[in-house]
């Protein structure tokens, strides 16, 4: 089964196009090093919760939209090797690349796929 890196972040609505451009630049790098696909999803219906929610988890501010993203790898081993290569890639070390969101409030995790249909 595949292995997934998952991300949730809050992106200022005015940075939507910058986020898409950031994805256009970075997703080929992930795929170059073994990712099967990269998915970025712009929040459409992401409600606030009473106890917890995506907006609460990333401390979303007014005017920010929740983005839910993932990178699919063929295996955990491919993920480990691919991410190591990505971190060293010049694209990820470009001092001129700006993040279109506050990375300090991003949720990140890696997941073993246990069911797929």
Instruction: Indicate the pairing of strand 37-42 with strand 3-12.
Output: unpaired
The CATH classification of domain 10-58+67-101+108-112, taken from the options 3.40.50.2300, 3.40.50.1110, 3.30.70.100, 3.40.630.20? 3.30.70.100
Are 5 and 33 in contact by the 8 Å Cβ rule? The answer is no
Are 93 and 62 in contact by the 8 Å Cβ rule? The answer is no
Instruction: Provide the mean pLDDT of the chain.
Output: 96
Residue 93, pLDDT score? 87
Is 110 a residue whose pLDDT tops 90? yes
Dig out the tokens for 75 from the structure: 């295996």
Of 8, 3, 12, 109, which Cα lies nearest the Cα of 57? 8
Residue 100, pLDDT score? 94
Is 39 a residue whose pLDDT tops 90? yes
Residues 5, 111: Cα–Cα separation, whole Å: 6
Residue 42 banded pLDDT, cuts 50, 70, 90? very high
Beta-carbon contacts of residue 49 (< 8 Å; ≥ 6 apart):
55, 56
* 94 vs 40, more confident: 40
Share of the chain above pLDDT 70, in %: 100
How do residues 59-97 score in pLDDT, each as one tens digit?
999 999 999 999 999 999 999 999 999 999 999 888 878
* 86 SS3 class: helix
All structural domains of the chain with their residue ranges: 10-58+67-101+108-112
Residues 41, 85: Cα–Cα separation, whole Å: 25
Phi first, then psi: what are they for 61, rounded to 5°?
A: -105, 160
Rounded (5°) CA angle 12-18-30 = 115
């Amino acid at each position: 089964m595949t292995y997934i890196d998952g991300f949730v972040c809050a992106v200022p609505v005015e940075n939507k196009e910058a986020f898409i451009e950031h994805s256009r630049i970075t997703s080929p790098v992930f795929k170059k090093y073994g990712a099967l696909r990269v998915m970025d999803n712009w929040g459409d219906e992401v409600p606030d919760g009473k106890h917890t929610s995506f907006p609460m988890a990333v401390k979303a501010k007014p005017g920010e939209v929740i983005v839910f993203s993932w990178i699919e790898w063929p295996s955990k081993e491919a993920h480990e090797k691919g991410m190591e290569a990505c971190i060293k890639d010049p694209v990820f070390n470009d001092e001129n690349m700006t993040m279109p969101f506050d990375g300090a409030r991003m949720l990140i995790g890696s997941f073993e796929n246990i069911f797929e249909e």
